[in-house]
């Protein structure tokens, strides 16, 4: 493979820039591995002209992707060939670890220029990642207006609507007509956001009264008053958590929404492209949290990754020792009938899997607000019936397996009973643990798994071994 | 609680419609449980006037939410009070199970009218859910143009760009100026999409050459040619999978994109609001698949839910029996030293957890295309080192616990060695299983877990009990 791609790379040194653009992305629209090889080999050859062409042929998002696939040395070489006006966009796309590394290498002056090109939300995100002295230097190199804007953004809580919004909006008084709005936009130019989708119609104290989509505006006669075609808006309070903001955007299919201060005045807007990122982030967090990992990123050090997983394993060790101490209560029984040791993991493992199924569904239903006080009892009853049903079905399967394997029908009965008990316990724990954690204000995705598997391990071993002592010995 | 809310409901019968709107949503912007109680109690009292007010005060998305929280009888009552022009929007928002139920109760004529209000993608989605005779009746009741449009949509594969797109687009020839485009839009009115964000500039054979954002158009002088302000576009082939489409939208922060047929001609557009739904759906699928559940929906029957979980549990039973048969190889050893039975679940459980951590990270990295042939070896090496590192750390912890618990230092050594072996196996399986499944064309989220835990159970029991036989007995 590497032999082959080496040849290809050599062959392709005569490709012109348009060809490079076609070659950059693979069929799956991700950056082509071969293209990354070409970058590495141009860097190794010291072919700076080629390196510049290769980098200039890429969209900023793909340059960011390229950086993530390269090691730190190559990254530094690539960085030297990024055009100053592309720097801002690339910086906003980089993974956090790499961004911090790159930010250290860019001069405060270059950074200040790049930040002035960005919307206020993206600029604030970058400034936040800077170390204190560098932050001061960069802010000092910016214009007073931009500096004040970034300071305002950073004053809002992390992951709040205020941090997500851009301050640039297109607002119009209620008495304007379509024609007046269009003429204003043509003149205002740079004061307006780079890209926007709605005009917010405001009253004299700047409180939003409605919104007019640009496509609606363009389909309407010039003399129509905005007040006549505006539609009601969902206002986003500036201190709302970004998860709530994403929920509202998704629920009402919003493209943009006005952000208001506690007095109800328009202070900025959030657009859907920021929300797509939040939605990705939040479900990513849930997936990883359920498995007990925090996202250390592509470029994390081995020690960083090991540490991010250590604590979850340590908590699970506590659980496992607890389960073992339940087993140790029955050492006498096991030494009399070793079949118990052979079969006991089946009961615990089936319980663990059934519990994980229930809790995953519950965690998602809580996250999407499909599980609330209205249907909580209906859901609990349903889960318990499902637990009893699958418990009974597997009681028969496992009971038959055990009875034939060890030629002992009563052993089959015992493991079957334990299976019904443990799958019911799994259902109860799977639904009540996440609901209780949520009620107590914890994120149910983060800690439910360990509680539920503790229940299924302990109940599984205790019911199986306990019933064996009562019935078999 | 229900006593109390009964009183509140009675007290609040004098609320007017504006008050109802304020009351509809709770602080978390989800439908207020109390509001649902009010609907139920109005239905119980037969207070049709109140019921109508309660339903009319809600946004279509919230009516759909209300329906999901009600039982089928109440749903039927609510349905009677939905205004014909609100029906289309509410239908697009309903959960699949409920939508099918509601569609059966609406007459073909009413449905045909509702569908004509929707964008072609949403209309096709609804028609697809109808049973054959009803579908024919509904299509027959529609205008020829709308009917042909829906037939075309349905001819594209499910989950393809063709199915996701709407056929209505705003296209303009290259030689038009900003002013001509604006004048055209003001005249075209109904032929244009309901809501759009970009004008696609096309050549005479309708091949997209670029796009102009409406906000850009409005900021530009009327005599500027579109060709001068258009930007390059990412064209979406009509047969592209929706997961790829979502990847492109997310990567390039797109708001809308032109969809092209195999000849490169513009056939429709996809807008970001459809993509937000796809992103939610795809990560939801991954979360549930990792836990071995298919989403049966809020309103699924108990049997439906039980069945959706049965198969995964059955596969896991196979795994558990396999692990048990490994244990049964060592029955002799266990009967001599019962401590082995007490400790063995610790080794298996720690391996299972470490394996799940690695595989979850790998599954996500594959889904986001952060793990490719470029960095696969680097990732494997990193995971194995993490496995060795955490394996050694827990070897010491668990070894000490075991040695003190059973007053047997060599038992501590044995379990420590088994721990290093199993956490390394967990790392290898956790990374190679999803990569191999992906290479073979399977979805790694769906089946990785069972393979990885089989490895960690078998290796865990075999290494611990095998080493015990070699060293202790």
Question: Other CB atoms closer than 10 Å to residue B472's CB: what's the count?
Answer: 16
Band the pLDDT of A6: cuts 50, 70, 90.
very low
- Could you tell me if A142 and A233 lie in one domain? no
Model confidence over A17-60: pLDDT tens digits?
668 878 888 877 888 888 999 999 999 998 988 899 899 889 88
**From A280, A286, A339, residue closest to B279, measured CB to CB:** A280
Quick one: tokens of A242? 């970004």
Distance between A309 CA and the closest CA of chain B, angstroms: 7
Looking at residue A16, which CATH number applies to its domain? 1.25.60.10
pTM for the full model? 0.86
For chains A and B, CB pairs below 8 A equal 334
Contact: B286, A288; criterion CB under 8 Å: no
B295 occurs within a structural domain: no
- Could you tell me if B229 and B207 lie in one domain? yes
Quick one: tokens of A313? 């394993």
Name the domain count of chain A: 3
Contact: B353, A292; criterion CB under 8 Å: yes
A357 occurs within a structural domain: yes
Model confidence over B141-165: pLDDT tens digits?
888 888 888 888 889 998 899 999 9
A297 occurs within a structural domain: no
Contact: A276, B372; criterion CB under 8 Å: no
Band the pLDDT of B387: cuts 50, 70, 90.
very high
Contact: B305, A360; criterion CB under 8 Å: no
Model confidence over B167-185: pLDDT tens digits?
889 999 999 999 999 999 9
- DSSP state for residue A211 in the 8-state scheme: E
Contacts of A441 (CB under 8 A, 6+ apart): none
Q: What is the pLDDT of residue A436?
A: 95
Q: Of the residues A135, A164, A193, which one is the last residue of a structural domain?
A: A164
- Could you tell me if A194 and A74 lie in one domain? no
Q: Which stretches does DSSP call E strand in B133-282?
A: 171-173, 198-202, 208-213, 236-237, 256-260, 266-271
Distance between A376 CA and the closest CA of chain B, angstroms: 10
Contact: A252, B343; criterion CB under 8 Å: no
List the single residue in A with minimal CA-CA distance to B394: A314
- Could you tell me if B414 and B387 lie in one domain? yes
**From B189, B283, B328, residue closest to A283, measured CB to CB:** B283
Looking at residue A437, which CATH number applies to its domain? 1.10.357.20
Q: What is the pLDDT of residue A10?
A: 46
Greater pLDDT, B326 or A131: B326
Q: Of the residues B164, B192, B223, which one is the last residue of a structural domain?
A: B164
Mean pLDDT of chain A, nearest integer: 89
Contact: A195, B255; criterion CB under 8 Å: yes
- Could you tell me if B154 and B181 lie in one domain? no
Quick one: tokens of B157? 């594969």
* Distance separating alpha carbons of residues A384 and A423, to the nearest angstrom: 9
Band the pLDDT of B316: cuts 50, 70, 90.
very high
Distance between B110 CA and the closest CA of chain A, angstroms: 24
- Could you tell me if A83 and A182 lie in one domain? no
- Could you tell me if B12 and B102 lie in one domain? yes
- Could you tell me if A254 and A362 lie in one domain? no
Distance between A132 CA and the closest CA of chain B, angstroms: 30
* Distance separating alpha carbons of residues B236 and B259, to the nearest angstrom: 5
Region A252-265 average pLDDT? 94
pLDDT beyond 80 at A295: no
**Cβ proximity of B413 and B471 under 8 Å:** yes
Beta-bridge partners for A198: A213
**Cβ proximity of B287 and A367 under 8 Å:** no
ipTM of the prediction greater than 0.95, yes or no: no
Closest among A395, A407, A313 to A354, alpha carbons compared: A395
Contact: B197, A215; criterion CB under 8 Å: yes
B297 occurs within a structural domain: no
- Could you tell me if B160 and B200 lie in one domain? no
pLDDT beyond 50 at B224: yes
Strand pairing category for B236-237 and B256-260: parallel
- Could you tell me if B193 and B275 lie in one domain? yes
Looking at residue A241, which CATH number applies to its domain? 3.10.580.10
- Could you tell me if B422 and B344 lie in one domain? yes
B296 occurs within a structural domain: no
- Could you tell me if B442 and B461 lie in one domain? yes
List the single residue in A with minimal CA-CA distance to B232: A59
Mutate to test the interface with A, among B270, B309, B366 (most CBs of A within 10 A): B309
A296 occurs within a structural domain: no
Question: Other CB atoms closer than 10 Å to residue A353's CB: what's the count?
Answer: 26
Chain A environment of B218 (Cβ under 8 Å): 182, 185-186, 214, 218
Contact: A317, B394; criterion CB under 8 Å: yes
| C-alpha gyration radius of chain A | 30
SS3 assignment, position A201: strand
* Distance separating alpha carbons of residues A100 and A421, to the nearest angstrom: 52
Q: What is the pLDDT of residue B13?
A: 57
Distance between A136 CA and the closest CA of chain B, angstroms: 30
pLDDT beyond 90 at B95: no
Chain B environment of A303 (Cβ under 8 Å): 389
Q: Of the residues B164, B191, B221, which one is the last residue of a structural domain?
A: B164
Q: What is the pLDDT of residue B460?
A: 97
Cα A310 to chain centroid, rounded: 21
B281 occurs within a structural domain: yes
Find the domain containing B451 and state its range. Answer: 302-471
């Amino acid at each position: 493979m590497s032999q082959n791609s080496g040849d290809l790379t050599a062959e392709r040194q005569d490709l012109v820039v348009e060809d490079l653009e076609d070659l950059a992305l693979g069929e799956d629209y991700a950056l082509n591995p071969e293209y990354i090889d070409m970058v590495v080999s141009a860097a190794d050859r010291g072919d700076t002209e080629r390196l510049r062409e290769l980098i200039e042929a890429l969209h900023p998002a793909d340059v960011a992707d390229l950086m993530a696939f390269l090691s730190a040395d190559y990254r530094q070489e690539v960085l030297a060939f990024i055009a100053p006006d592309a720097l801002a966009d690339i910086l906003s796309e980089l993974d956090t670890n790499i961004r911090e590394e790159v930010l250290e290498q860019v001069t405060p002056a270059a950074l200040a220029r790049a930040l002035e090109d960005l919307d206020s939300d993206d600029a604030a995100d970058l400034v936040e990642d800077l170390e204190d002295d560098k932050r001061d230097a960069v802010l000092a190199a910016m214009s007073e207006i931009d500096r004040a804007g970034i300071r305002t953004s950073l004053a809002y809580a992390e992951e709040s609507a205020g941090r997500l919004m851009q301050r640039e909006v297109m607002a119009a008084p209620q008495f304007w007509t379509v024609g007046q709005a269009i003429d204003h936009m043509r003149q205002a130019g740079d004061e307006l956001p780079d890209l926007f989708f709605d005009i917010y119609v405001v009253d004299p104290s700047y409180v939003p009264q409605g919104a007019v989509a640009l496509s609606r505006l363009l389909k309407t006669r010039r003399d129509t008053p905005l007040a006549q075609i505006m539609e009601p808006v969902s206002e986003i309070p500036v201190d709302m958590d970004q998860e709530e903001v994403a929920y509202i955007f998704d629920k009402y299919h919003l493209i943009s929404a006005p952000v208001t201060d506690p007095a109800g005045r328009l202070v900025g807007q959030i657009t859907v492209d920021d929300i797509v990122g939040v939605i990705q982030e939040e479900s990513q967090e849930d997936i990883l949290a359920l498995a007990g990992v925090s996202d250390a990123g592509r470029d994390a050090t081995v020690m960083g990754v090991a540490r991010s997983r250590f604590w979850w394993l340590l908590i699970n060790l506590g659980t496992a020792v607890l389960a073992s101490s339940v087993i140790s209560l029955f050492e006498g029984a096991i030494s009399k009938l070793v079949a118990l040791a052979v079969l006991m993991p089946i009961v615990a493992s089936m319980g663990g899997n059934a519990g994980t199924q229930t809790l995953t569904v519950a965690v998602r239903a809580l996250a999407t607000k499909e599980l609330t006080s209205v249907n909580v009892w209906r859901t609990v009853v349903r889960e318990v019936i499902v637990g009893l049903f699958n418990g009974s079905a597997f009681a028969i399967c496992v009971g038959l397996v055990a009875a034939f394997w060890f030629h002992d029908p009563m052993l089959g009965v015992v493991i079957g009973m334990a299976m019904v008990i443990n799958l019911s316990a799994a259902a109860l724990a799977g639904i009540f643990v996440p609901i209780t954690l949520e009620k107590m204000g914890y994120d149910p995705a983060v800690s439910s798994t360990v509680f539920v598997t503790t229940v299924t391990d302990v109940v599984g071993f205790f019911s199986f071994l306990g019933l064996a002592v009562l019935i078999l010995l």
